[in-house]
Amino acid sequence: MNEEPRIGVYICHCGVNIAGSVNIKEVVEYAKNLPNVIEARDYIFMCSAPGQEIIKEGIKKCNLNRVVVAACSPTMHEHTFRNVLAEAGINPYLLEMVNIREQCSWVHSDNKEAATTKAKLLIRMAVAKASLLEPLKEITFKVNKNVLVIGGGVAGLSAARDLAAKGFKVYLIERKPVIGGNTARLGRLAHAEIKGIDLVGELSRQVLSSPNIHIYVDTELANVDGSVGDFKIKLVKNPRYVNEKCNLCGECVKVCPVDVPNEYEFGVSSRKAIYLPFREAYPPIYVVDSENCTRCFECVKVCPMNAINLAEKTEEIELTVGAIIIAAGHEPYEPPIGEFGYGVSSRVITLFQLERMLDEAGPTKGELKLDGREPKNIVFITCVGSLNTTPNAYPYCSRMCCSSTIKNALMIREKYPEANIYILHRDIRTYSRGDEQLYLKAGESLIRFARYREAPNVIVNPDGSINVRFFEETIQEEVFLPADLVVLSVGMKPPKDIDKVRTIVKVGCGPEGFLREAHLKLRPVEAATDGVYLAGTVTGPKNVIESIESGSAAASKASTLLTKEEVRVEPLIAVVDEERCSGCSICIGVCPYGAIRLKTQEKARVAEVDPALCKGCGACAASCPTGAMQQFGFKDAQLKSQVLAALTK
């Protein structure tokens, strides 16, 4: 672009967010005198409709060809203002954002003079760069209409169901041998007459009835290449050692010599090395747990269907999809041995173990008997693993445990009207619709609530009896409770393998490992990476209904992408100045995506960038010895102009 730069600078007050710390008037005056600046204006909210009009008006009236907006972080509104430029008829990439809110007014509100000076410098840097900006053309990709859903819990099932109903082809992968996730292991759900397994059953039926859904169990994500609209997926399907000929006769189980705790019953019961995770499991095929299998081949010998093959190998599967939904769920917090007596006494159990025991179809047939006797004194302790209750605990609230605790306490009350039931808590957080009523009902049902601040002390006596001692905050007294059963209301934590999945898909996470949303408030089911969506507890604790809703919401967002024929991506990719390129090939070795190759041009060999493969990291540009390799939007000259402007006294 050879025309003289004509820059408009628009400075946002952001209410008092910026104007409270930065002297806007002074900054506007300063901006007016910067090189190439034709006009500088301010407004209370530049992102609002009237604010956007001011910019458009400026572009038209002053015949501007570059725009600098000094407001919030570009992650917030670069997109908004690019659209404004496009609507005003100039190339959207002739915009430079200045972050005078997150990186200026908010962090320097204690020093208004310094904040004002810094805002000026930041604007000067942006104006310098803006003078060197070039119009860019967006790259378009065709959108593949398939979608990958990672995780077969209720969130993943909900997302898969909705996308299939909308007509997209869905690949649902689950690393466990069975779909249903954590919900399948829950007993009766709060406010519902159905059990977790029935809900999973219903969702599975809906999912399985669609010809658009392909389910891969025992399958993990191995690699993702490509980008939004066109992801190349590699999956690894681990051997199950039992094929679909299995008729669930159970002969194999009878002969299997191995006995291990059943993780699907949270260890309340045991299972064999060949097993069906639970009744009504999908797929209805036995599975061999290769870690514990002794390779005695007894099962192989007795199987009437010849369905077992212990020599089965892992299998690689390749797919192409346009979008990815991560619904990898959570794991319950597992208290370390000794925390609240867990693992020391069999009378200390987790809420999930209790759920299994209270389930009529569970290992104890719904009976809560310990050494053959019904428990008389039951003490629930909430916030185990949450709110920093113990040194091992997480800082956050797990959201569903309060209601879940009360629901279970009420179920015990129904079964054992004479039992003394205590719930020791820090705050009862029954926030969700109908949960407060559950809390009221618990009070009416003589379930006693006591408040602690310091973690209660669970004392396991030599005779096996248990006492719980804690300081009750309301009555300000030390309380000493005998307990036949202590139930630890454990919270949620991110699933074990989530780091592997998120590094493959390139999604960030928070300090505890839950995945990070593109925006916590308004983009809760989108990842910052285009074409990747997040559903269920993988972003943080949620109850069952909320997880299903977020699955649908993620499906909705994915559908907004998949209904498009093509997607546009930022053209901030590498570009070669063929005149300067010496064909040294250093850039080829540096590029992580294999996006650069040599081509012969008028007898000389020069580098060439494949725009479909280049992701725009700029590593090649940084390594180019001649300066021939550059990155659009981040050219050497543009970045150096910022350095220079920052340092001019």
194 or 604: whose CB is closer to other proteins?
A: 194
Instruction: Using the rule CB under 8 A, give the single segment among 189-197, 230-238, 329-337, 459-467 that binds other proteins.
Output: 189-197
Contact between 639 and other proteins per CB under 8 A: yes
Contact between 522 and other proteins per CB under 8 A: yes
Per the omega criterion (within 30 degrees of 0), is the bond before 332 cis?
A: no
Q: Which residues are 321's β-sheet partners? A: 231
Among 2, 33, 476, 600, indicate the residue that binds other proteins (CB under 8 A).
476
Contact between 17 and other proteins per CB under 8 A: yes
Q: Which residues are 39's β-sheet partners? A: 8
Contact between 99 and other proteins per CB under 8 A: yes
Under 8 Å between Cβ of 309 and 219: no
Instruction: Using the rule CB under 8 A, give the single segment among 163-171, 254-262, 294-302, 344-352 that binds other proteins.
Output: 163-171
Instruction: Using the rule CB under 8 A, give the single segment among 247-255, 308-316, 373-381, 471-479 that binds other proteins.
Output: 471-479
Report the C-alpha gap between 540 and 494 in whole angstroms: 8
Report the C-alpha gap between 172 and 176 in whole angstroms: 12
Contact between 562 and other proteins per CB under 8 A: yes
Instruction: Report the 10 Å Cβ neighbour count for 101.
Output: 22
Among 382, 389, 432, 489, indicate the residue that binds other proteins (CB under 8 A).
432
Contact between 603 and other proteins per CB under 8 A: no
- Which one-letter DSSP state was computed for residue 513? S
Contact between 473 and other proteins per CB under 8 A: yes
Among 239, 524, 571, 611, indicate the residue that binds other proteins (CB under 8 A).
524
323 by DSSP, 3-state: which? strand
> What is the amino acid identity at position 549?
E
What is the smallest separation between the CB atom of 96 and other proteins, expressed in angstroms? Answer: 10
279 by DSSP, 3-state: which? coil
Q: Which positions from 448 through 467 interact with other proteins, judged by CB under 8 A?
A: none
The phi-psi region of residue 265 (left if phi > 0; otherwise alpha if psi is between -120 and 50; otherwise beta) is: alpha
User: Crossing angle of helices 401-415/435-444, nearest 10°?
Assistant: 40
Closest CA to 394 of 487, 490, 486: 490
Q: How many residues bind other proteins (CB under 8 A)?
A: 135
What is the smallest separation between the CB atom of 498 and other proteins, expressed in angstroms? Answer: 13
431 by DSSP, 3-state: which? coil
437 or 585: whose CB is closer to other proteins?
A: 437
Q: Which positions from 351 through 390 interact with other proteins, judged by CB under 8 A?
A: 387
60 or 415: whose CB is closer to other proteins?
A: 60
Contact between 594 and other proteins per CB under 8 A: no
Contact between 478 and other proteins per CB under 8 A: no
Longest dimension (CA), the chain: 94
Among 67, 147, 170, 548, indicate the residue that binds other proteins (CB under 8 A).
548
Q: Which positions from 54 through 93 interact with other proteins, judged by CB under 8 A?
A: 72-77, 80
140 by DSSP, 3-state: which? strand
Phi and psi angles of residue 597, each rounded to the nearest 5 degrees, phi first: -145, 170
Report the C-alpha gap between 37 and 348 in whole angstroms: 71
Among 233, 281, 514, 569, indicate the residue that binds other proteins (CB under 8 A).
514
Contact between 199 and other proteins per CB under 8 A: yes
Give ∠ CA 215-219-220 in degrees, rounded to 5.
125
Instruction: Using the rule CB under 8 A, give the single segment among 239-247, 257-265, 298-306, 517-525 that binds other proteins.
Output: 517-525
Q: Which positions from 256 through 315 interact with other proteins, judged by CB under 8 A?
A: none
